[in-house]
Each structure stands twice: as C-alpha cells, then as structure tokens.
Chains A and B, each alone.
Chain A
Amino acid sequence: AQSVTQLDSHVSVSEGTPVLLRCNYSSSYSPSLFWYVQHPNKGLQLLLKYTSAATLVKGINGFEAEFKKSETSFHLTKPSAHMSDAAEYFCVVSFSGNTPLVFGKGTRLSVIA
C-alpha cells in the first residue's frame, strides 16, 4: 500500500527566507512522487516530479525536491520565499499514470512580509 505523510499542516516563513516542506512516503514499489500547489479556489498545479531519474528534482518557481530512499522522504525546498508562494502544497505518490493519486493532507505555507 502507498501512503504519504506531510509532517507539518502549516508552515510560516518570512519573505526572503528559505522554505522547507516535509514529506515522507510509504510504497511497496518504486514510487513516482509529485509536489502540487493549490492557490485559494483553484485547482492543483504541478510543481515538480520524481520518476527514478535524478534524485534532486528542480521544478517551477525556484522550487526543488530531493528524493532520499533511505529516509523515504521527498522534502520540498526553496531558497528564498516570495509572497506569491503562499498557498497549499500537496505531496503525492503515484504508481502509474492512470491510477489514482495518493495525496498527503497538505501543508499550508504562509509568507510574512
């Protein structure tokens, strides 16, 4: 069975400081992992994905994530937060392209001016 745990329901950072959103996963197979972002009353936008290639994945808007098999983690980072980064972030596990995604519960990122 696959599962995803987002360790923080809410993270608050000051503008210009680093962002760390934590995600641990459990999967019986080699997983595909994604980070999606959701702004209020909007759908989900893909930030980045890991599919067993490079363990450090770069995404849009300056975000990146590192897949660590030994720690079963896929944490999302950004060197410098911007006000527009304030949103809900979801860590997601997938087995194949046409099977349902397994979502974490989400982490709300607040950015303080």
Chain B
Amino acid sequence: GAVVSQHPSRVICKSGTSVKIECRSLDFQATTMFWYRQFPKQSLMLMATSNEGSKATYEQGVEKDKFLINHASLTLSTLTVTSAHPEDSSFYICSATSGTEVGQPQHFGDGTRLSIL
C-alpha cells in the first residue's frame, strides 16, 4: 500500500515551454503533498507544501508564479513549471501523506527528470 505515482518520469523540452508534473496517491487520500527539488549528488530541497483545497505554502526563495502548484483533490497534486529555462533543469520529487499524526511517514513518487534545452 501507500503508492504514489508521479508522471512523467522524464521531460525534455525547449526553453520557454511550460511543463506540468502530476503526483497521484493511488491507494490512499493525501491530505498533504510536498514538492521537492534535488540537484545532482545533493539532498532534497523542499519547494512547497500543499493541502487539498487550499493554496500551497512556498519555501523562501521559491517563486510561486514560476512554480504553480494545484492540489484540487485528495489524490492529485500538480506542479507546473511555467516558461521553463535551462536553470530549471533538475529532478523534481513529490511526496504525500495521509495524516497529521506524529510518525506518519511521507510516501514518495519516483521523481521527474526535467531537462530544458
């Protein structure tokens, strides 16, 4: 159980294109989803936290107009990288959790490798 599906797994596109990444919880309701960015050989960097039906909370330094997050249902959150440029190339990972209890783990998608030419 607790499967998170992230799609697409890899995107290669031209500079100026907008790219949408989907994160779905397949067998549980995700009250909270998180979006991370990971640079090569580094740890995950939290970009934003999204709760179903409300606006995402962005971390300092993350442009909310650049990285649009929508969490319209309890099983789906999307991250749209608008007008992507080469510096946006990275590995993006989502995670989801079903509860607020202490010790509730987050379940991760397999990530999306975004390459902007």
Chain B contact-residue range equals 20 to 34
Q: Is the CB of A97 within 8 A of B104?
A: yes
Give the interface segment out of A16-24, A62-70, A78-86, A103-111. A103-111
Q: Is the CB of B111 within 8 A of A43?
A: yes
Contact of A49 among B51, B103, B109 (CB under 8 A): B103
Contact A41:B91 (CB < 8 A) given known A46-B105, A90-B43, A94-B103? yes
Q: Is the CB of A100 within 8 A of B93?
A: no
A112 near B: Cβ within 8 Å? no
A2 near B: Cβ within 8 Å? no
- Name the residue on A nearest B9 (C-beta): A41
The binding surface of chain A is classed by DSSP as: loop
**Cα-based distance from A56 to B105 in the complex (angstroms):** 18
Contact A103:B43 (CB < 8 A) given known A36-B108, A43-B109? yes
Chain A contact-residue range equals 20 to 34
B97 near A: Cβ within 8 Å? yes
Q: Which residues of B contact A104 (CB under 8 A)?
A: 43
- Name the residue on B nearest A92 (C-beta): B106
Contact A43:B100 (CB < 8 A) given known A101-B106, A103-B43, A105-B43? no
Q: Which residues of B contact A45 (CB under 8 A)?
A: 108
Q: Which residues of A contact B64 (CB under 8 A)?
A: none
Q: Is the CB of B110 within 8 A of A97?
A: no
28 A-B residue pairs with CB within 8 Å: A32-B103, A34-B105, A41-B113, A42-B111, A43-B6, A43-B108, A43-B109, A43-B110, A44-B93, A44-B95, A49-B105, A52-B102, A94-B102, A94-B105, A96-B101, A97-B101, A97-B104, A98-B31, A98-B49, A100-B46, A100-B49, A101-B106, A103-B43, A103-B44, A105-B42, A105-B43, A106-B42, A108-B41
Give chain A's interface residues, CB within 8 Å of chain B: 30, 32, 34, 36, 41-46, 49-52, 90, 94-101, 103-106, 108
